Structure 1
Amino acid sequence: MNFYIEKIIVSGAGKTDSIVELSNGINIIYGPSNTGKTYIVKCIDYMFGSDKEPIDISTGYQFVKIIVKTKNGKLTMSRKIGENKIELSSTDKNISSGKYNTKASRNNYHKTINSIWLSLIGINEMHLIISNENFKKQILSWRTFNHMFILTETKIISEYSTFLSGHDTSNTATISSLIFLLSGKDYAETETKDSKEIKDAKKKAVKEYINKELFRLSERNQELLVQEKEAINTDIELEVEEIMSKIAEHERQINESIDENQKILAQLHINNEALSECNMLLNRYDELTTQYVADLKRLSFIIDGEVNFSEHPLAQCPFCDSKIDVKNSHNYVDAAKSEYKKIKLQAKDLEKASQSLCEEKSTLEQDIKILIQKKKSTEELVETKLKPQLQILKERLVEYKEMIERRKEIAILKKFSDQKTADIIDNESDDEGELKFKVKEHLEYSFINDLNSSISSFLEDCKYDNLLSVIFDKSSMDIVVNGKKKGSNGKGYNAYFNSVVAIVLSRYMKEKAEYSPNFLVLDSPILSLKEKQSKKPSETMKNTLFENIISNQKGIQTIVIENEIPDIDYKDVKIIHFTKEKDNGRYGFLMDVVE
């Protein structure tokens, strides 16, 4: 850093000096409206040579003073409001004390404040730059590029580029000064180049077509992003792998259950056949038992008859009174008794066999009942649990596969948009010249490409909604986001985009430019920005913008003016708060001005 503003002092006769001390890093000055915050910006601009009076002298304040720290000492600059001279007191051996004119001039160049500021960034000699397409030349002055690094409250909300001054007649000089800061080349001796009249028309047609394509891709990308936000936030690949594993496990369990069911059915068939056989045998046993009972009754009758007859023998027939010849029947009775015993034993054996068969039948019936219940449980497990769960898993797998395809499409859209972004940059980087001096054609492709990439990365880091493409349009020297020009947005987004471009430019200049101011002022970058209320604080563009400035603006004195600031960590940041309250802190910038 070649210099930084250490202190700003506004004074007047009988007035309390109004002092603001700044650091060489990030400085944030905030507070309600009408507390004089913008006065600070105007005072800085005034000391850079502006002819616009920063403060109404009716307040009683008449002098603006700044103290600038350089590598070799300090500079104290004082300017009376309304005059075009700056009194300089220097302790830097390379800079002389004295009075310096605020107007840049070829005559007495080294007695202008312009020469002092330029010398502080290493430009020690006067340089001429081309100021229009007819090769007219003018002196390189701080005022030519001052607006790129001091974004006033009106400049910051402008729909026009931060690179341009807002006056078409001076834009050639503005870009020429930028080219000089970047490369050290003033192109004062550049000769005309041949070109075709139709060149610009072709470029315009190509650019319009590509922008339409980018807008179409942006709309599709937005549809996919909406669907993506509704989806669960998870590692899809891992989830798919887990679901497929679960599906395989459920299918295995279903197959095992089906196999088990088939085994149960086979066993049921065997048991039912055995039960049928038992029933058949029992029927046969019942028939045989009946036969045994009948035979026993018959034999018992015979034996009992013979016993009774022997006790009361008949000598004659009761019907005809004829004599009966009684024969000896002992052999017949013995045979009946023997047969009776035999059948009695068989009947007893049959009873035991029948009882054993009944027990076997009962066991079979119990086993069949258990098998039927097991079969029912297995079928219920498959139908009411495994199959429904399997269906849910398959549906989730379909959803995840759709998410994977959606993310692939988003990646493809990003790839297409990057290619079309490169196409439009290539289209703008056509180095054919015209008969007139076209200063933009002398902007290096690497500068445009690096700026484009840096702005895109910045917006991504700041979580800009639905960011698909960012193009730095060389023709307008401004950005086109998702195929839409910056000017199509409202003031809040204009201020946001202008701030981003100015921040990125300041960082690029610090890293790669031949000469860099390493100085940036942003007046109200987020004041008018309206965002969705549903956003988390860590995802709002306001928060992320300030966090990015704090984290990445090293080596650049940065002054941010704002009404309200986000609730984030402001470690290592110089905070100046105006309260607009008489009894609470500092009321405002001007100590003796209170509403």
Structure 2
Amino acid sequence: MFIESVIVSGPELADAAVFFEKGANVVQGGSNTGKSYIVQCIKFALGATKPPKTIKESRGYTTVKVKFVHDDGRFFTIVRELTASSKPNFYDEESKVQTLGVKHNPRNMSSVSNQFLNRLGLNGKLLLKGTTSLSNASFTLRDFEKVFLMDETRIVADYSPLGTGQNNEGPKEKSILKLLLTGMDDAGVKQAKKELASKGALKHRFNAVEEIIKQLYPGNDTAECLELQKLSSFADQVALRLKQAEDELQGAFHSSEDLFTQKANQIAELEVVEGKIAEDKVLLSRFDMLGQKYESDRQRLQGIEQAAGLLDDSDSVLCPTCGNHFDSESCTTDVDDIKKGVSFELDRISKNIHELAEAQGSLTAAIESNSTSAESTKTSIAVLEKLITSELQSSVLAVSDLKELASCLKHDHSVLNRLVTDKAKLKEELKRLGVLLLEEQNTYTPESFEESAKPLVKEIQDILQRWSFPNYSPVEFDFGARDITIGGSARGNFGKGYRAIASSAFALGLMNLLKLSGRHPGFVVLDSPLTTYKEGDPEPEEGDEEVAADVIYAFYQDIADNFKDSQVIVFENKEPDMALIPHMNYQHFTKSKKIGRYGFFPLRG
């Protein structure tokens, strides 16, 4: 893969564009010609959160487009608005567009990072961040970008080319290098992390179970088991005694069978007598009502009799029927006949009243006799009940008491048995957890890759030798610093100029080694690898010695001769030798309005 073009466009503005080829590409020019802006555009297209720094020439430009071409001719283009909140649009060779995020997501392909790393077989890889905490992180394009896209800040940095200089990045930087060199990530740390968390959970559960036993089951195990045995034995004895008592009660019932029969007969007789008394009382009540009627009729007839006598004695009284005098020939009413009729009826009613009184007296006598008989029967029943109670009471009481005792024993035994059982289960769980805690935890130890680093330092040493780097041998890798040493000196101890040269060698040597396995995009971007200070800047600080001229010549010659199957893009102030320019894709930003190309952005009229 290589970068074919970087184009920045804006409405009604001529495009700012730069085009690259495979092999050596050099964009040379002075400060403020837009070289670093191009590097920032590439980074932004690859998902950086900050857009390129605004400069005077970039005003009005709104979009960056970077085209990447595979070795087989396939290509893709990333287009992104030049704002911090924008999302990249990903176009394939068929112009199908997909909007991507800038944040790496290991679970899908929705970001530039996923798309880019997937083409290299590096998506979904896991890095080790902390050896003690076993923390981990996904390998992202931001992690990889550090070693193939070196801006002017990183290229002179005195910390590891794999990181950002943070003190806690050691494990992650080693994990990145191991992944790149071997293709193996640290996915095992995830399982070790789970096991570590599981150990913590086990310890927490062990303490919780231990505290439950202490708080809820403080008793002595032996004493509790002995008490349970005693309760069981006592319950068996009570059950046996209850069976005997129930048998005795059953025998008492059989021996009292005649008394029960007599009582039943007496109750039946009592029910008959009480029924007769009730019937007689109802009949007596009806006789009372009939007597009241007879008395009413008698009083009415007596009144009629008295009225007839008064009519007979008075001449002035008229007949109530015809209105004539009783002695008149026209009055047909005979007072004597009325008297005779009334007298007859009175005799009849008196006779009925007498007969009714006799019947009432007979009923009353019967009720009294039956009531006496009922009371006598009740007394007999009470005597029988007393006899029955005397026969059964002791047996019934014994059975009742033994049943209550058996119930209490069953409850106490159940409670104690549950307590002993639950306590035993908790102690068994505590024992199991203790065994698990004593088991040795599978700690995670990253695999050594020191042997895999030897080809890398060989590549770097060969490059430095071709560049005439002073005291280039031996090149070694310091795993503690995650950086190379050159001739026994740490890269970070060199001045800025030689630090930049060594960083460049590291990036190019890594590309040479990884492109064979397909784990590298195949291009490296170097911003100001040869510049120790810029024209017009203050004098360099101590240790910032300018790179020797022969190293500069050798550097340009080497990237022109030995990286034809890859792509090296160099942005530099220092101009290559005229004899080397025909062997590279060379673009010169003159910073002159009259000669050549002024800079990355076209001059505006």
What TM-score results when the alignment is normalised by the length of structure 2?
Answer: 0.51
Q: Which region of structure 1 is more displaced relative to structure 2, 543-552 or 478-487?
A: 478-487
1:73·1:90 contact (CA, 8 Å) conserved in 2? no
Provide the residue aligned with 2:452 in structure 1.
447
Cα deviation code 1:483-523 (max 9, x no counterpart): 22222221111111111111111111113x45222120111
Partner in structure 2 of residue 47 of structure 1: 45
1:4 — aligned with what? 2
3-state SS of the aligned residue for 1:581? Answer: coil
How far off its partner does 1:27 sit? 1.0
Query: Is residue 126–residue 136 contact of structure 2 (8 Å, CA) maintained in 1?
Result: no
CA shift, 1:40, in A, is: 0.8
Q: Give 1:188 deviation, angstroms.
A: 1.2
State the partner residue of 1:585. 596
- Do the aligned partners of residues 87 and 505 (structure 1) sit closer, same or farther apart at CA in structure 2, a change above 3 Å counting? closer
- How far 1:171 sits from its partner (Å)? 4.5
CA–CA distance in structure 2, aligned partners of residues 465 and 436 of structure 1? 50
Corresponding residue for 1:78?
A: 79
The offset of 1:545, in angstroms, is 1.4
Q: Which amino acid aligns with 2:465?
A: E
State yes or no: 1:144 paired with 2:114.
no
SS across alignment from 2:186:
coil
Tell me the alpha carbon deviations over residues 373-392 of structure 1, each in whole angstroms, 9 at most, x when there is no partner: xxxxxxxxxxxxxxxxxxxx
User: Residue 124 and residue 547 in structure 1: after superposition, are their counterparts in 2 closer, same or farther (change >3 A)?
Assistant: same
Which residue pairs with 2:506 in the alignment? 501
Residue 457 of structure 1 deviates from its aligned partner by 2.5
Task: Measure how far apart 1:437 and its partner are.
Answer: 12
3-state secondary structure, aligned to 2:14: coil
What are the Cα deviations for residues 98-130 of structure 1, in whole angstroms up to 9, with x where unaligned? 1101111245x2111111111222346565665
Query: C-alpha distance in 2, partners of 1:495/1:105?
Result: 33
1:390 aligns to what?
none
1:343-400 alpha-carbon deviations (Å, 9 max, x no partner): xxxxxxxxxxxxxxxxxxxxxxxxxxxxxxxxxxxxxxxxxxxxxxxxxxxxxxxxxx
Do the aligned residues in 2 keep the contact of 1:133 with 1:438 (CA within 8 Å)? Answer: no
Is 1:520 paired with 2:524?
A: yes
Quote how far apart the aligned CAs of 1:584 are.
1.0
Structure 2 residue identity aligned to 1:471? E
Q: Distance in 2 between matches of 1:545 and 1:498?
A: 13
What RMSD, in angstroms, separates the aligned Cα atoms of the two structures? 3.3
State the Cα distance separating 1:592 from its structure 2 match: 4.1
Q: 1:22 is matched with which residue? A: 20
The alpha carbon displacement at 1:149 in A equals 0.9
* Aligned-pair CA distance for 1:51: 1.3
Aligned-pair CA distance for 1:173: 3.1
Aligned to 2:569: 559
1:75-154 matches, within 5 Å, as: 75-92=76-93, 97-106=97-106, 109-123=108-122, 133-154=132-153
Please state how far the C-alpha of 1:443 moved relative to its aligned partner.
Answer: 4.9
Gaps spanning 5+ residues in structure 2: where?
Answer: 190-195, 198-439, 534-539, 541-546
Is 1:473 the equivalent of 2:478?
yes
Aligned pairs for 1:178-577 within 5 A = 178-190=177-189, 442-511=447-516, 513=517, 515-528=519-532, 540-567=550-577, 568-577=579-588
Equivalent residue number for residue 38 of structure 1: 36
Contact 1:12 1:63 in 2 (8 A): yes
Q: What is the alpha-carbon distance in structure 2 between the residues aligned to residue 554 and residue 117 of structure 1?
A: 23
Supply the distance in 2 between the matched residues of 1:96 and 1:88 (Cα, whole angstroms): 10
CA distance in 2, matches of 1:114, 1:591: 31
Identity of aligned residues (%): 29
For structure 1, the 5+ residue unaligned runs are 193-434, 531-536
Letter in 2 for 1:590: F
Tell me if the contact between 2:123 and 2:139 (Cα under 8 Å) persists in the aligned partners: no
Classify the secondary structure of the residue corresponding to 2:515.
Answer: helix
* Pairwise CA distance, 1:577: 0.9
C-alpha separation in 1, matches of 2:464 and 2:443:
30
Compared with structure 1, are the counterparts of its residues 187 and 436 closer, same or farther at alpha carbon in structure 2 (3 Å cutoff)? farther
Displacement of 1:18 in angstroms is 0.3
Offset of residue 21 of structure 1: 1.0
Matches of 1:72 and 1:436 in 2, distance apart?
51
Opposite residue 12 of structure 1, the aligned amino acid is G
Task: Report how far residue 131 of structure 1 moved.
Answer: 6.2
Within 1, Cα distance between the matches of 2:520 and 2:124? 16
AA of the residue aligned to 1:168: N
| C-alpha distance in structure 1 between counterparts of 2:441 and 2:508, whole Å | 32
